[in-house]
Amino acid sequence: MRVLVTAGPTREALDPVRYLTNRSSGKMGYAMADAFARAGHRVLLVSGPTVLAVPDGVDFVPIESAAEMFDAVQRHIGRMDAAVFAAAVADSRPVEVCDHKIKKTGETLTLELVRTADILGAVRGGFGFTGTLVGFAAETRDLEANAKEKLKRKGCDLVIANDVSKPGIGFDSDRNEVLLVFPDHVEALPEDEKHHLAPRIVREIERIAAERGT
Ligand code: PMT
């Protein structure tokens, strides 16, 4: 299969030296890209800034902002058989990016933010993708219900839900504990290294793709 994987955080610029971002390290997405490559698939990794090495045999598109990730996914997804969205994309960005470093003018600073485009949400309708589509859901409560809602709303074949309020898993950790939410059933994978979970998840995605004939 040809597989696109998104990973890492995005950076939304405020001025030439500052940006809004989140705690994603990219470890989950890079583990998925590595596991797909080791299983013999052709992988394109679209990633925000991380300190990780690109896994062997994986093609790489570095991006910074949500808008750049949107453009990269739009450009490449037509050639893919499957796509896995592990990136923690900023949901909003500053309305205005100042050309010069923002000066300290008072005790408070008010930022106006605007929503970024939902990349995963654009894949089925906007980009017309018909391959196997896998999203992640980063939740702090109602894990299963929220993941089921995302699965339906974004037209996914599988949503991998993680509780990002639990210490030791999720963001910026080597470990994760995930709930695999399929259209007709749910399966919990016990806490493990991301590098051990990823091959297990890849096998599920291979099974879905074989059933779909993609
Ligand atoms: O990178 P690590 O430190 O290893 O951490 C891993 C992780 C916690 C980031 C990862 O396991 C994870 O949960 N990734 C998804 C994070 C997220 O933004 O989830 P969400 O529930 O807000 O978004 C739902 C889905 O829509 C995700 O597949 C996300 O990639 C996608 N999305 C969200 C917003 C947006 N503007 N565009 C998107 O494509």
* Å from CA of 179 to ligand 1 middle: 14
Q: Is the CB of 26 under 6 A from ligand 1?
A: yes
Which domains, and CATH codes, for the chain? 2-95+111-212 (3.40.50.10300)
Specify the pLDDT at position 90: 98
Specify the pLDDT at position 103: 87
Distance between CA atoms of 127 and 141, rounded to whole angstroms? 31
Q: Are 87 and 45 in contact (CB under 8 A)?
A: no
How big is the CA angle at 191 (ends 158 and 61), to the nearest 5 degrees? 55
* Å from CA of 87 to ligand 1 middle: 5
DSSP assignment, residue 109? -
Instruction: Specify the pairing of strand 18-20 against strand 92-94.
Output: unpaired
Query: Catalytic: 22?
Result: yes
Q: Is the CB of 52 under 6 A from ligand 1?
A: no
Q: Is the CB of 205 under 6 A from ligand 1?
A: no
Q: Is the CB of 171 under 6 A from ligand 1?
A: yes
Specify the pLDDT at position 1: 97
Specify the pLDDT at position 67: 98
Q: Which residue's CA is minimally distant from atom 35 of ligand 1?
A: 118
For residue 13, what are the contacts with CB-CB under 8 A and spacing of at least 6? 19, 64, 65, 93, 94, 97
DSSP assignment, residue 88? B
Instruction: Specify the pairing of strand 132-139 against strand 82-85.
Output: parallel
Q: Which residue's CA is minimally distant from atom 31 of ligand 1?
A: 120
DSSP run (H or E) holding 76: helix 66-76
Catalytic annotation, pick one of 22, 146, 162, 176: 22
Please list the rounded mean pLDDT of every run of 10 residues in the chain (214 residues).
98 97 98 98 98 98 98 98 98 96 89 97 97 97 97 98 95 97 97 98 98 85
Q: Is the CB of 24 under 6 A from ligand 1?
A: yes
